Amino acid sequence: MKTNAAPAPKRKRAYRQGARAVAAEQTASRILDAFDQRLATDWYDEITLEQIAKDAEVTAQTVIRRFGGKEGLFEAVWMRHSKEIENRRRVEPGDIDGAVRVIVEDYEAMGDLVWRSLAQEDRFPAIKAMADLGRRHHRGWIEQAFAPFLKGLGAPERKMRIDQLVTATDLYTWKLIRRDMGRSITHVRSLMRALIEGVLNDKAA
């Protein structure tokens, strides 16, 4: 009786290819994790590919072959974080409390690392490019999260309101309250909520 089963050599070859792909992704993940950890403690220009390779238990050539260099590494790490941030910031449009909750949670998780990167953006084009992308993403999130409060506004008024909401929920605002002033998470939520309400209740905006 005939069967449709693939010949054993083909099955084995497909298995080996799949295993290699999984191993390659695991290696890439280890490299990104190693670079991410270095970014949290070291300045960008002080980090070497040799350090990353050692931390990830690979060769520097493997790092270069996979990411091309530090610029490629930074972009890959930033894009990975961007996906995490997008998932954390999911909120129903118009839910102010929900928006405050997710934005503060996001900053608590990533704020210090992002702030450290922003402090270096004027020196390194790779960081500047990703920082600008992050700003565009934040503005886009504002437009989505506060969409009901932007309806019916003329172009100048809409732009002003978005600018105000960006400022009220910006990383700089969180950093000022949480790190510079040393306030609690509850305090930063309450203050950010008050800033947002002030914007939405401002008839001149």
The reply to whether 83 and 63 lie within a common domain is no
> How many structural domains does the chain have?
2
Over residues 66-95, mean pLDDT: 94
| Nearest-angstrom CA–CA distance, 32 and 26 | 10
Question: What is the residue whose two structure tokens read 């004027």?
Answer: 122
Same-domain check for residues 60 and 130: no
In terms of domains, do 76 and 64 share one?
no
| % of the chain exceeding 70 in pLDDT | 89
CA atoms lying within 13 Å on the CB side of residue 190: 5
Please give the pLDDT value at position 117: 93
DSSP letters, 113-168, are HHHHHHTTTTT-HHHHHHHHHHHHHHHHHHHHHTGGGTTT--HHHHHHHHHHHHHH
> In terms of domains, do 112 and 164 share one?
yes
Question: Could you tell me the pLDDT band of residue 24, with boundaries at 50, 70 and 90?
Answer: confident
Span 125-177, pLDDT tens digits: 999 999 999 999 999 999 999 999 999 999 999 999 999 999 999 999 999 99
Residue 172 is part of which domain span? Answer: 72-200
Q: In terms of domains, do 52 and 134 share one?
A: no
Residue 164 and residue 188 in one domain: yes
Q: What is the pLDDT of residue 16?
A: 62
Q: Are residues 100 and 60 in the same domain?
A: no
CA distance 168 to 163: 9
- Does a structural domain hold residue 90? yes
User: pLDDT (tens digit, 9 = 90+) per residue, 110-123?
Assistant: 999 999 999 999 99
Residue 15 pLDDT greater than 70, yes or no: no
Question: Considering the entire predicted model, what is its pTM?
Answer: 0.81
pLDDT in tens, 175-199: 999 999 999 999 999 999 999 999 9
pLDDT at 43: 94
Whether 39 and 126 map to the same domain: the answer is no
Q: Do 54 and 155 belong together in one domain?
A: no
Q: Does the structure show a pLDDT above 90 at 68?
A: yes
Q: Please identify, among 53, 68, 83, the residue that sits at the C-terminal boundary of a domain.
A: 68
